[in-house]
């Protein structure tokens, strides 16, 4: 390993909300790399009171535009200008929306480019029907992939798809949590169904709230914020068994997860970005020994077949309700799912996954 090499990372999101980049940047930093992460200093929602400290340098970038074409144009110009004369050995672009600046910097500075695709960017729900925008982002991504020395993404299924689409090998580095000893925790009463993550379209959160009307013996907690924050709260108005916890820092969220009965992870399959996704919440539930309820999508079907720590169901309120009721009534089956999750977490953890990342950087 080459000690002291500088890795500059670009991120259009906020570092507080991106556990994947916190893990990756921390892993590189703790293994001798000098890491500087540029992120957009914009937070739409009230931040948590006690944000987690990170062991690497973060550089906030204030962008006058917060959405649309101007956001991406101005932010990439800012990234380019701020990084152009900085010391750098490796440039690390997070998703296609930082590729314009980082691809150009890689050419001008003649430095290796690493591309980390967190999703199938040109197939996100926001680009559905936007033919021109999709073509532009596809061209940007193709140019960045051609220039990249390393291409990585979040899961094996998406890695296979992106490798075929862009004609270059993508390596999967899953966003799994660190292995932490499972403490003895009293489960919350009434039993809690937890959703953690963004409250955005396509997450089937309306179905979850609808299902809670038929599960008065349970409680639902949604930990996060997003575009649907207001409409979901309106939908749940008057329901005593639905709670919105807002944004939580990772340690507090883990403590909450440990107390829960089930983890919720349904996604809309019509978006190819969601269809091939592998969310970190699936592994967060697993690491806490909490059985999860997922959609019938490739990654989750494969993981549940291998580890049997949850179930994949149809995206209906009835399927949610019947699954929860079955687990409540068949305690032996539920206990087996929980035990399987704990066993799976012994291998599916960041301590093992980060070895892939570090070996890739050694190859540079």
Report the C-alpha gap between 316 and 73 in whole angstroms.
40
My answer on whether 52 and 147 are in the same domain is yes
Q: Using the 8-state DSSP alphabet, how is residue 276 labeled?
A: T
Burial tier of 4 (Cβ tally within 10 Å: 0-12, 13-18, 19+): exposed
At residue 310, the pLDDT reads 96
My answer on whether 266 and 298 are in the same domain is yes
Q: Who's near 336: CB < 8 A, 6+ residues apart?
A: 308
Domain assignment present for 182:
no
Distances (CA, A) of 155 to 43, 180, 343: 27, 22, 20
Position 266 pLDDT exceeds 50: yes
pLDDT-based confidence at residue 1 (cuts at 50, 70, 90): very low
My answer on whether 66 and 210 are in the same domain is no
What pLDDT, in 10s, does the model give residues 112-122?
A: 999 999 999 98
Q: What is the mean pLDDT of residues 341-357?
A: 96
Domain assignment present for 41:
yes
Domain assignment present for 276:
yes
What pLDDT, in 10s, does the model give residues 323-344?
A: 999 999 999 999 999 999 999 9
Report the C-alpha gap between 364 and 362 in whole angstroms.
5
What pLDDT, in 10s, does the model give residues 81-116?
A: 999 999 999 999 999 999 999 999 999 999 999 999
Residues in the chain: 364
Domain count, the chain: 2
Secondary structure (DSSP) of 66-125 = -SHHHHHHHHHHHHHHHHTTS--SEEEEESGGGHHHHHHHHHHHT--EEEEESS-GGGSG
My answer on whether 32 and 90 are in the same domain is yes
pLDDT-based confidence at residue 65 (cuts at 50, 70, 90): confident
My answer on whether 226 and 257 are in the same domain is yes
At residue 270, the pLDDT reads 83
Whole domain around residue 218: which residue ranges?
A: 192-345
Domain assignment present for 304:
yes
Q: What is the mean pLDDT of residues 55-72?
A: 91
CATH number at residue 144: 3.40.50.2000
pLDDT-based confidence at residue 302 (cuts at 50, 70, 90): very high
My answer on whether 101 and 204 are in the same domain is no
Q: What is the mean pLDDT of residues 288-301?
A: 97
My answer on whether 151 and 254 are in the same domain is no
My answer on whether 331 and 356 are in the same domain is no
At residue 347, the pLDDT reads 94
My answer on whether 207 and 318 are in the same domain is yes
Helix (H, G, I), strand (E, B) or coil at 215: coil
pLDDT-based confidence at residue 53 (cuts at 50, 70, 90): confident
Position 47 pLDDT exceeds 70: no
Pick 281 or 13 by higher pLDDT. 281
Domain assignment present for 1:
no
Report the C-alpha gap between 162 and 150 in whole angstroms.
13
- The model carries a pTM of 0.92
Domain assignment present for 354:
yes
My answer on whether 97 and 75 are in the same domain is yes
Burial tier of 114 (Cβ tally within 10 Å: 0-12, 13-18, 19+): buried
Burial tier of 33 (Cβ tally within 10 Å: 0-12, 13-18, 19+): buried
My answer on whether 274 and 238 are in the same domain is yes
For strand 262-265 and strand 192-196, is the pairing parallel, antiparallel, or unpaired? parallel
pLDDT-based confidence at residue 3 (cuts at 50, 70, 90): low
My answer on whether 126 and 196 are in the same domain is no
192 touches 260 (CB < 8 A): yes
What's the chain's average pLDDT? 93
| 140-144, 149-153, 247-251, 343-347: least confidently modelled range | 247-251
pLDDT-based confidence at residue 18 (cuts at 50, 70, 90): confident
Helices 205-212 and 317-329 meet at what angle, rounded to 10? 60
Domain assignment present for 153:
yes
Position 149 pLDDT exceeds 90: yes
Q: What is the mean pLDDT of residues 346-350?
A: 95
Domain assignment present for 115:
yes
């Amino acid at each position: 390993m080459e000690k002291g090499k500088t890795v500059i990372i670009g991120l259009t999101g906020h570092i507080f909300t991106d556990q994947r980049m916190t893990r990756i940047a921390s892993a590189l930093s703790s293994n001798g790399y000098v890491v500087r992460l540029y992120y957009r200093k914009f937070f739409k929602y009230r931040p948590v009171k006690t944000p987690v400290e990170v062991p690497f340098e973060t550089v906030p970038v204030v962008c006058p535009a917060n959405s649309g074409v101007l956001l991406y144009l101005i932010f990439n110009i800012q990234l380019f200008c701020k990084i152009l004369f900085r010391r750098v050995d490796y440039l690390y672009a997070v998703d296609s929306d930082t590729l314009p600046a980082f691809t150009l910097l890689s050419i001008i500075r003649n430095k290796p480019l690493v591309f980390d695709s967190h999703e199938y960017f040109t197939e996100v729900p926001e680009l559905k029907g936007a033919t021109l925008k999709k073509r532009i982002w596809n061209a940007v991504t193709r140019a960045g992939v051609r220039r990249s020395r390393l291409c990585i993404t979040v899961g094996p299924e998406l890695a296979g798809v992106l490798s075929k689409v862009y004609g270059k090998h993508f390596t999967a580095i899953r966003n799994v949590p660190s292995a932490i000893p499972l403490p003895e925790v009293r489960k919350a009463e009434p039993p809690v169904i937890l959703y953690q993550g963004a409250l955005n379209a396509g997450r089937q959160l309306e179905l979850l709230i609808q299902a809670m009307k038929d599960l008065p013996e349970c409680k639902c907690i949604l930990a996060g914020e997003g575009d649907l924050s207001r409409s979901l709260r309106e939908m749940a108005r008057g329901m005593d068994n639905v709670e919105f916890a807002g944004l939580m820092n990772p340690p507090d969220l883990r403590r909450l997860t440990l107390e829960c009965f089930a983890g919720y992870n349904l996604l809309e399959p019509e978006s190819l970005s969601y269809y091939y996704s592998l969310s970190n919440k699936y592994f967060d539930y697993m690491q806490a020994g909490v059985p999860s309820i997922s959609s019938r999508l490739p990654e989750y079907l494969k993981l549940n077949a291998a580890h049997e720590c949850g179930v994949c169901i149809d995206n209906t309120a009835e399927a949610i309700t019947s699954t929860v009721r079955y687990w409540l009534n068949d305690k032996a089956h539920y206990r087996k799912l929980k035990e399987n999750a704990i066993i799976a977490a012994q291998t599916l953890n960041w301590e093992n996954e980060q070895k892939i990342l570090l070996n890739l950087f050694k190859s540079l």
